[in-house]
Structures are given as structure tokens and as C-alpha cells.
Amino acid sequence: MRKEYSTKSRNLMMKYIQEHAGQQFSAAEINEYLQEKERQINLATIYRNLDKLSEDGILMRYKFADQKCCLYQYSGVSEQCQHHLHMKCEKCGKILHLECGLMHEISTHLMEHHGFAIDCKTSMIMGLCQDCRKKDSN
């Protein structure tokens, strides 16, 4: 088991991640934040930390076909986010969690009728959130 080091840069990364808990972010956005805080850190080190946090279940990592880089989302210290789907608003970027009983129904239906197991760690439903739909209808 490797030892975790608490550095100013790592602490600032975690602060950014926690402050953006309901959003997806990239390594470049963290790098920009660190530079604003006058912390110079190698981009490879940022990726290494993001990979470790993803392996530990603290971050969810998403790779969409139309994007060159991965996006990350804070899931906290529990692994709950790895057991339900997420919905992302295409307009404002807000992330919503599908934690209701429907999640079990969807998983069960897909397995029983299609032989398909959902990988919630990488699955995202895209659409418009309620707030953006309201704004569009006004």
C-alpha cells in the first residue's frame, strides 16, 4: 500500500474538485485553477492525481467520443456514484443523479431482456435539465 502525501498542490486540487462537485471538469481546468492560485504543477502530475482519485472511487472519469480529453466528476468518498446513472444537461452542464427506484428497474430490464449490464461508472444520459427547459420556454 503506497503512502498518500498531502501537498499544497494536492490540497488545492481537492478544493477545486469539491467546489465543483455537481459539474464535470478537465485536467486543463484544474491546471488553470492552480496557476491562478500561483501553484505551478506539471500537467502529468495532475493527471496522475486524477487517475489515483478515479481508481479510489472519489472521481468518476468520462470519455466521450466527440472529446479529446477525459472529464472528471467528484463522487465523494463513497462509491454510490458508481451504482447509478448520471444525467448531464447539455446547456448548463449540471450533473443530476438517477438514484430512484427506476435505476434498479432499468438495470434489471436491460439484463433480463437484452443481456446487457450497465457500467454506471462511464454511463451518462444527455438532455436538458428542468431549469434550462423553463428558461427556453420563456
Q: What percent of the chain has pLDDT over 70?
A: 86
What is the pLDDT, as a whole number, of residue 105?
A: 87
Query: What is the total count of domains within the chain?
Result: 2
Same domain, 93 and 51: no
The confidence band for 82, taking pLDDT boundaries of 50, 70 and 90, is low
pLDDT value at 29 more than 90: yes
Is 125 within 8 Å of 86 (Cβ atoms)?
Answer: yes
Mean pLDDT of 6-13: 82
Same domain, 76 and 92: no
Boundary-marking domain end, from 35, 64, 82: 82
Same domain, 33 and 94: no
CATH number, residue 107: 3.30.1490.190
Domain boundaries, position 32: 1-82
Is 101 within 8 Å of 85 (Cβ atoms)?
Answer: no
The confidence band for 2, taking pLDDT boundaries of 50, 70 and 90, is very low
Q: What share of the chain is helix, strand, coil (3-state, %, to 5)?
A: 45, 15, 40
Same domain, 72 and 90: no
Same domain, 69 and 115: no
Q: Please indicate, yes or no, whether the overall pTM of this predicted structure exceeds 0.75.
A: no
What is the pLDDT, as a whole number, of residue 1?
A: 43
Sign for the CA dihedral angle at 51, 52, 55, 57 comes to negative
The confidence band for 49, taking pLDDT boundaries of 50, 70 and 90, is very high
